[in-house]
Amino acid sequence: MAFRKVWCALALGFLLPFSCAHTDFFTSIGHMTDLINTEKDLVVSLKDYIKAEESKLEQIKKWAEKLDQLTATATKDPEGFLGHPVNAFKLMKRLNTEWGELESLVLKDMSDGFISNMTIQRQFFPNDEDQTGAAKALLRLQDTYNLDTDTLSRGNLPGVKHKSFLTAEDCFELGKIAYTEADYYHTELWMEQALKQLDEGEVSSADKVYILDYLSYAVYQQGDLAKATALTRRLLELDPEHQRANGNMKYFEYIMAKEKEANKSSTDSEEQEKETEVKKKDYLPERRKYEMLCRGEGLKMTPRRQKRLFCRYYDGNRNPRYILGPVKQEDEWDKPRIVRFLDIISDEEIETVKELAKPRLSRATVHDPETGKLTTAHYRVSKSAWLSGYESPVVSRINTRIQDLTGLDVSTAEELQVANYGVGGQYEPHFDFGRKDEPDAFKELGTGNRIATWLFYMSDVSAGGATVFPEVGASVWPRKGTAVFWYNLFPSGEGDYSTRHAACPVLVGNKWVSNKWLHERGQEFRRPCTLSELE
């Protein structure tokens, strides 16, 4: 079964449920809570070490004080002092044994316990890649949710329970990570923020000269020579001997002089530049739509259409299991039709599903079309696991519920996929179905294309994390205990392109979903095909 799923994912270029050696902490809160506990244990161990070190110092101090008094008396009248035979004996004993014991005490290493704890735990610590991943997630959130750098740095986010802010050094670190990604736009924002916080008097080990060095380069890379020059001048005021800055200064002046010259002779290049700028603005319109929908802006539905969205009690077309206890159903959208079921999975069921999935969660990977290797991708940042109906009555009960309420056969469906998105976790716009030019998609599964998607929300999300449909302008917000359902294919079997959708990055909190992809086989009489292609 696992093999089949890997293969169909390969063919699709979709996620691959492979587990990697490293766990990529930043992609899921599930794994990060383990780190919080590890850190708590380490603090306990560190405190034990401090106590041991303090009691050692206390003993040494007592000895020193005792000897201080003794030697003071002895040196005042050495002969008289040694005239007492006990004193003579004790001097021998002290020098022969006690000082040696003290030496051993001074040399005694109290850090063993703490260090061995550290060594064990360090194996599970995040690495550079995790740190970079977490930083990139912050930058992604900043873009998607239009957050200005200062707001983010002061931690003024909607819905946060535990306020937290960034130091000048943290901002510098973020800027450096953006810089190594050649992302000069964010380099500038974060270096400027670091500088601002230092200018406001924040005490920090971050160095203005270093910050200005990065900042001026990022500004130069974005084409603002005048600003780059001003920043370099500021750097040189702090460090007149700075070699690179002196070199850059000369270079900037040379370029600016050359540009002035060129401007005089022609305006062609300017026009060209404008043209590319216009192109840049038109570029990736989907991305902008996606981000707007994530922010909850720009819903396109007219009031007339909105009035035709209803809520109702639904009995699964007189399904015996639901006639006496129908479920609440709401229309989320009309075209494509997206419905939401309320109170459709209980808190206990959610806990069971999460517990079953947790040990198996692994970073979703994709197939790099160029190298042919498995790799992680920024467009799918989450952790997921697959659960079979055979392993738990709860999973099996959930599968039956989906079958009863959709009227579709679940025996041809994929297993239940559980996904956890940490802060910054997202899945950029995609289709769940295999397109015409991917004829091998799901071939191994042998049950046809993904006819429909059922998506359970297993948590609320404090901010962000909507499921959005950029083609039609729909934002569906996670609500714990609910599920949404839509058809990916028309009854003709043709893919419905209006179902293109995405999971917005989580801004604050943590998002758990599980989904069931229902396939075409088995639905021939449940949802007969039509002759018209796009209905």
513 binds, among ligand OGA, Fe ion, none (CB under 5 to 8 A by kind): ligand OGA
Would you tell me how many other CB atoms lie within 10 Å of the CB of residue 252? 20
User: Which residue in 183, 213, 432, 496 binds Fe ion (CB under 5 A)?
Assistant: 432
Task: Name which of Fe ion, ligand OGA, none residue 461 binds, using a CB cut-off of 5 to 8 Å depending on partner kind.
Answer: none
Q: How far is the CB of 503 from ligand OGA (least distance, A)?
A: 3
Q: Which of 172, 179, 290, 427 binds ligand OGA (CB under 6 A)?
A: 427
In the list Fe ion, ligand OGA, none, the entry touching 114 (Cβ below 5 to 8 angstroms by class) is none
Structure tokens at 314: 């639904």
Q: Which tokens belong to 17?
A: 């449920």
Beta bridge partners of 426: 381
Site for ligand OGA contains 499 (CB under 6 A): no
Instruction: State in angstroms the smallest separation of the CB of 500 from ligand OGA.
Output: 10
Using CA atoms, how far apart are residues 425 and 507, in angstroms rounded to an integer? 9
**Cα–Cα distance for residue pair 404/422, rounded to 1 Å:** 32
Q: At closest approach, how far in Å is the CB of 487 from ligand OGA?
A: 14
Distance CA 523, CA 491 (A): 10
8 Å CB contact between 424 and 29: no
Which lies closer to Fe ion via its Cβ, residue 130 or residue 432? 432
* Contact flag: residue 28 with ligand OGA (CB under 6 A): no
Q: What is the DSSP string of 55-85?
A: HHHHHHHHHHHHHHHHHHHHHHSHHHHHTSH
Report the alpha-carbon distance of residue 248 to residue 233 in Å, rounded. Answer: 10
Q: Cα separation of 214 and 29, whole Å?
A: 32
**197 touching ligand OGA, by CB under 6 A:** no
Distance CA 471, CA 282 (A): 16
Residue 414 interacts with Fe ion (CB under 5 A): yes or no: no
| Residue with Cβ nearer ligand OGA (228 or 408) | 408
Work out whether 461 is an interface residue with ligand OGA (CB under 6 A).
Answer: no
Comparing CB distances to ligand OGA, the nearer of 32 and 474 is 474
501 binds ligand OGA (CB under 6 A): yes
513 binds ligand OGA (CB under 6 A): yes
User: Judged by CB, which is closer to Fe ion: 114, or 442?
Assistant: 442
Residues in the chain: 535
Non-local CB neighbours of 15 within 8 Å, separated by 6+ positions? 9, 364, 365, 366, 380, 384
Residue 496 binds Fe ion (CB under 5 A): no
Helix (H, G, I), strand (E, B), or coil: what is residue 168? helix
Q: Minimum CB separation from Fe ion for residue 467, in Å?
A: 8
Q: Give the residue at shortest CB distance from Fe ion.
A: 432
How many residues of this chain interact with Fe ion, rule: CB under 5 A?
1
For ligand OGA (CB under 6 A), the number of binding residues is 9
- Measured from the CB atom, the residue of 399 and 467 that comes closer to ligand OGA is 467
503 binds, among Fe ion, ligand OGA, none (CB under 5 to 8 A by kind): ligand OGA
State the binding partner of 507 from Fe ion, ligand OGA, none, CB within 5 to 8 A by kind. Answer: none
In 295-390, which residue ranges form alpha helices assigned H by DSSP? Answer: 303-307, 320-323, 347-357
> Which are the contacts of 181, defined by CB distance < 8 A and separation ≥ 6?
136
Smallest gap from residue 485 Cβ to ligand OGA (A): 12
**Alpha-helix residue ranges (DSSP H) falling in 240-284:** 243-265, 268-282
Binding of residue 16 to ligand OGA (CB under 6 A): no
Token pair for 77: 């009248």
Q: Which is nearer to ligand OGA, 235 or 419 (CB)?
A: 419
Q: Which helix (H) or strand (E) holds 144?
A: helix 128-144
Kindly state whether residue 432 participates in binding ligand OGA, applying the rule CB under 6 A. yes
141: which residues sit within 8 A by CB, 6+ positions away?
147, 152, 423, 424, 464, 505, 507
- What is the distance, to the nearest Å, from the Cα of residue 354 to the centroid of all Cα atoms in its chain? 19
Query: Is the CB of 283 or the CB of 379 nearer to ligand OGA?
Result: 379
Told to check if 515 binds ligand OGA by CB under 6 A, we report yes
Residue 117 binding ligand OGA, by CB under 6 A: no
Q: Which residues bind Fe ion (CB under 5 A)?
A: 432
Please give the residue ranges that form the binding site for ligand OGA (CB under 6 A).
Answer: 419, 427, 432, 455, 467, 501, 503, 513, 515
